[in-house]
Chain A
């Protein structure tokens, strides 16, 4: 087993089995780091807690919901939805966060009365919002407040209001992943099957494990709608509370982030017989294969092929412009849980980027299986690294950039390694064909930005060049390119809009999407109002 020994972790021997070097000719039976284990005492983990995993990652992308944490205000603030999980109806979920604001006196005497008062107050303050997610924290779990009972009382006293309770305190698992699991199961057990949806197409999917980061979901939704597919609910990006109560009525669960949402897919398969289809929405070939696969399922592969052809014609010349200039770039791909495997191979195949390391803070061994398989020999795979290990890896591997979240990203910047934010994104969306070009552009700008040359200079001792002219990214990227590529008329830089989402929403407004009637099969326009908010009927 080619474990990787970090020098900085020699004093923490348990860390050894959490990092491996992928060797030439080796497969998953030779190399796999441990994963999803309690953080080892003495190593400072970058993980989030189980409450954060439930609320921040999965609960709060829901858009028409009051998200209230029963606990100290700090828990709420630190999970305030800042990850650009946008919605198409005003971003209520980004603008507001709610806490019961527990204090010492509540810990001693109980906080149930205060919680009920706060729930009622929140509903009255936002009378148009009829649903709430209520999150347990460590403090409220330890004193044993019965949040479910309070929720029942409120629902009885305020007809029409619905409260979902998530009992996932911060200590309920090794990392945020424990919270993903708990909220998956809680939603399935409490909410799924409590409402019946309006079905307007013959082809109906749930889009699971998709969080609409900077509009990812809305790009993919455009493809699905062009194929005539109804998205019953998205779990949970840009998702409506009531739609998500109807998950049991889809014909197929299309799953993107298996790390955070495979549980609900697996259970929907067991309980309701809905198949789980894992897809990759990142990369041209991966997106095309995914659309094709969904097309096969519904017998509409011709529709998929039309979209693939249109999107390739529109965007491939732009991807190729960047691919010509990114060949051989070295990258540490250090996202959260799923992007390491969504991206590792597509970055190599479609941009020529060498992924020299993958890591995950909260992934399981299953994520590492995918990540290790999809990167090339020589790559270093790390589970739950501490900051010193990350630094050591960067010094050793000398990447041209790292793609990660904002906390490790800031560390990278301190040692002059360019960093691209792939949690909240720099200039997303990154999904689909257009999104992949946007990612290529952001990588290009990150690697070749002239500012990085300046950051390598120490103004206290280095001579600052003053005689040089103005430099652009192309001054560096085109240095060794052949004239054929430099002047290729069929390649061009990214022409995506600064923000493509308003364009997609305007497109929906013009009622261009047609769907086959669920019974007659007749294709007809379904109005945008229905696409945005289809009817849902409560089940008694």
Chain B
């Protein structure tokens, strides 16, 4: 129980930190600028965002970028040992490794700010690759 109590205290402490942190939350334009750096990396190096159908792209963006966020924040990003989950995790591992290599500022960025940047990134990828895409094949029903 002690450890449990300790955990609660930690939670409270960390929760307290978050409240303070919220006050200092990364300004949106700064977050967007950092997000655009990550987006640049994806456009130049990755292929997973280009699956040929819009619904497929949304799933790819969601699964890979969520796991990337979790990995960058030191959280568990594996849901199960299915080949499908392993695939998304592998892409996310590769992406988070490259992000850390290309953008050393990530090491000094708080979990909350990383989450904010990655959420913006996911929105941006959905927008560019699906919702505002000029690719007319995205809405075809069959592969």
Could you list which residues of chain A lie within 8 angstroms of chain B, going by C-beta atoms? Answer: 27-29, 32, 34, 36, 251-252, 258, 262-263, 266-267, 270, 273-280, 285-286, 289, 292-294, 296-297, 341, 345, 349, 364-366, 369-370, 373-374
B94 and A251 contact, CB distance less than 8 A: no
Which residues of chain B have C-beta atoms less than 8 A from A373's C-beta?
A: 43-44
A28 / chain B contacts, CB cutoff of 8 Å: 128-129, 133-135
| B136 with A365: CB separation less than 8 A | yes
Q: Are A292 and B135 in contact (CB under 8 A)?
A: no
Rounded to whole angstroms, the CA-CA distance of A276 and B88 in the bound complex is 10
**Whole-angstrom CA separation of A286 from B41 in the bound complex:** 12
CB pair B47–A365 under 8 Å, yes or no, is: no
Query: Can you list 7 A-B pairs with a CB-CB distance of less than 8 A?
Result: A28-B128, A252-B83, A258-B47, A262-B52, A276-B51, A297-B86, A364-B137
Contact B43–A277 (Cβ < 8 Å): no
Chain B residues with Cβ under 8 A from A374's Cβ?
43-44
Q: Which of B47, B93, B137 contacts A279 (CB 8 A)?
A: B47
Give the residue of B43, B50, B89 whose beta carbon is less than 8 angstroms from that of A296: B89
State how many residues of chain B have any CB contact under 8 Å with chain A: 30
Measured in the bound complex, the distance between the Cα atoms of B133 and A373 in whole Å is 13
Known: A34-B136, A296-B94, A369-B129. 5 other contacts (CB 8 A): A27-B128, A29-B134, A273-B84, A297-B90, A373-B44
Q: Are B47 and A370 in contact (CB under 8 A)?
A: yes
Contact between chains at A251 and B83 (CB < 8 Å): yes
Contacts from B to A (Cβ < 8 Å): 43-45, 47-48, 50-52, 56, 83-84, 86-87, 89-91, 93-94, 97-98, 127-129, 132-137, 143
Chain A residue nearest to B94 in the complex (CB): A293
* Contact (Cβ within 8 A) B44 A263: no
Option from A252, A286, A369 in Cβ contact (under 8 Å) with B135: A369
A341 to B46 alpha-carbon distance, docked (Å) = 10
Please tell me if the beta carbons of B45 and A286 are within 8 angstroms of each other in the complex.
Answer: yes
Partner of A275, one of B43, B56, B87, B133: B87
Nearest chain B residue, comparing its CB with the CB of A344: B44
Q: Which residues of B contact A273 (CB under 8 A)?
A: 83-84
Q: Which 6 A-B pairs have the closest CB atoms?
A: A275-B87, A278-B47, A296-B90, A32-B134, A373-B43, A29-B132
Distance in angstroms between the alpha carbons of A518 and B91 in the assembled complex: 24
Q: Taking A29-B128, A29-B133, A277-B91 as contacts, is the C-beta distance between A369 and B50 under 8 angstroms?
A: yes
Q: How far is the CB of A204 from chain B (nearest CB, A)?
A: 11
B137→A365 contact, CB < 8 A: yes
B56 nearest CB across to chain A (Å): 8
- Across the interface, A293 reaches (CB within 8 A) one of B43, B56, B91, B133, namely B91
> Closest residue of chain B to A342, judged by CB?
B47
Q: Report the bound CA distance from A373 to B50 in whole Å.
A: 11
List of B residues within 8 angstroms of A294 by Cβ: 90
A267-B143 in contact given A258-B47, A262-B52, A365-B136 (Cβ < 8 Å): yes
Determine whether the beta carbon of A292 is less than 8 Å from that of B128: no
Known interface pairs A29-B128, A275-B84, A365-B137; A280-B47 also in contact (CB < 8 Å):
yes
Instruction: Let me know if A366 and B44 touch, CB within 8 A.
Output: no
CA distance A156 to B89 in the complex (A): 47
B48 CB, nearest partner CB in chain A, Å: 6
Docked Cα-Cα span, A369 to B51, in Å, equals 11
Shortest beta-carbon distance, B142 to chain A, in Å? 10
- Determine the distance from Cα of A373 to Cα of B136 in the docked complex, in whole angstroms: 17
Query: How many whole Å from B128's CB to the nearest CB in chain A?
Result: 6
CB-based nearest A residue for B89: A296
Closest chain A CB from B126 CB (angstroms): 12
B129 touches A266 (CB 8 A): no
Chain A residue contacts of B47, Cβ below 8 A: 258, 278-280, 341, 370
Asked whether, in the complex, the Cβ of A292 is within 8 Å of the Cβ of B94, the reply is yes
Within 8 Å CB of B86, what residues of A? 275, 297
Nearest CB on A from B41, distance (A): 11
| Cα–Cα, bound, A498→B3 (Å) | 67
- Cα(A266)–Cα(B129), bound, Å: 18
Nearest Cβ on chain A to B76's Cβ, whole angstroms: 15
Whether B45 contacts A345 by the Cβ 8 Å rule is: yes
> What separation, in Å, do the CA atoms of A294 and B89 have in the docked complex?
11
Question: Which residues of the other chain, A, contact B128 by a CB distance below 8 angstroms?
Answer: 27-29
Q: Point out the residues of chain B lying under 8 angstroms from A297, CB to CB.
A: 86-87, 90
Q: Which residues from chain B contact A293 at a C-beta distance below 8 Å?
A: 90-91, 93-94
- CB–CB B135/A296 < 8 A: no
| In the complex, chain B residues whose CB is within 8 Å of the CB of A279 | 47
